[in-house]
Chain A
């Protein structure tokens, strides 16, 4: 099956700092999503981004499908950004695979 690797596995930021999270995948994908899991366990979709660039407030994402990676940018981080960020891809057979996530802690 498709392999999904996320980096870094852990990240600690000072409030106000910027960061880039990366997702590499081993095969072509039909779609790619980024999710945020907050400290209470709730999973929220951030972006549906099989290719191109999207922005939503302080967050933006870019997927370069031909090079099999996606980046999630967080600018001016806030403590509420803490949690785990997951990348999930769907292959040509419509199977979804999640990466193991990047755990982000934003400290005041």
Chain B
């Protein structure tokens, strides 16, 4: 969905490096999410945020941190990247309560940690 953008789209880095993945949305949604996708495992939730001051850990938050800089921006950081963090990362947004809380996904960031 063009209303949800992710940068970079592809990144190759080395073990131990700090990496930041960024997500921006123009949908005006309150809720934002970060997922990772690994072959055969579907999507797993890393962190989610229901508003700027509300950030929650998901299923697999170890080794990751997030920052919700504004309603429209949600960044995911890998403080010290390791090879098993190689995956496809998706950001998503949803409107929140009071509406069908449908999630809209960004195009994904393919991260490779060597």
Which of chain B's residues have a CB closer than 8 A to the CB of A35? 103, 105
Q: Interface range on chain B: under 10, 10 to 19, 20 to 34, or 35 or more?
A: 20 to 34
Q: Is B43 a contact of A98 with CB atoms below 8 Å?
A: yes
Partner of A41, one of B44, B101, B102, B107: B107
| Residues on B facing A (Cβ under 8 Å) | 1, 33, 35, 40-45, 48, 50, 58-59, 88, 90, 92, 100-105, 107-108
Number of interface residues of A (CB under 8 A): 21
| B104: nearest chain-A partner, CB-CB | A45
Q: Is B42 a contact of A100 with CB atoms below 8 Å?
A: yes
| B33: nearest chain-A partner, CB-CB | A96
Which of chain A's residues have a CB closer than 8 A to the CB of B41? 100
Number of A-B contacts (CB under 8 A): 50
**A84-108: contact bitstring with B at CB < 8 Å (1 yes, 0 no)?**
0010101000111111110000000
- B90 to A: closest C-beta gap in Å: 7
Partner of A48, one of B59, B92, B100: B100
| B57: nearest chain-A partner, CB-CB | A95
Interface of B is mostly: strand
Which of chain A's residues have a CB closer than 8 A to the CB of B44? 98
**What would be 12 A-B contacts, judged by CB atoms less than 8 Å apart?**
A33-B103, A42-B107, A43-B90, A43-B108, A45-B103, A45-B104, A48-B101, A88-B103, A95-B59, A97-B59, A98-B42, A100-B42
With A and B bound together, what is the CA distance between A86 and B88 in angstroms?
A: 16
- In this complex, the member of A43, A95, A98 whose beta carbon has the largest number of chain B beta carbons within 10 angstroms is A43
Tell me, yes or no, whether A19 is within 8 Å of chain B by CB.
no
Partner of B88, one of A41, A96, A101: A41
With A and B bound together, what is the CA distance between A23 and B44 in angstroms?
A: 17
- A83 to B: closest C-beta gap in Å: 13
With A and B bound together, what is the CA distance between A41 and B1 in angstroms?
A: 12
With A and B bound together, what is the CA distance between A86 and B105 in angstroms?
A: 13
- B23 to A: closest C-beta gap in Å: 14
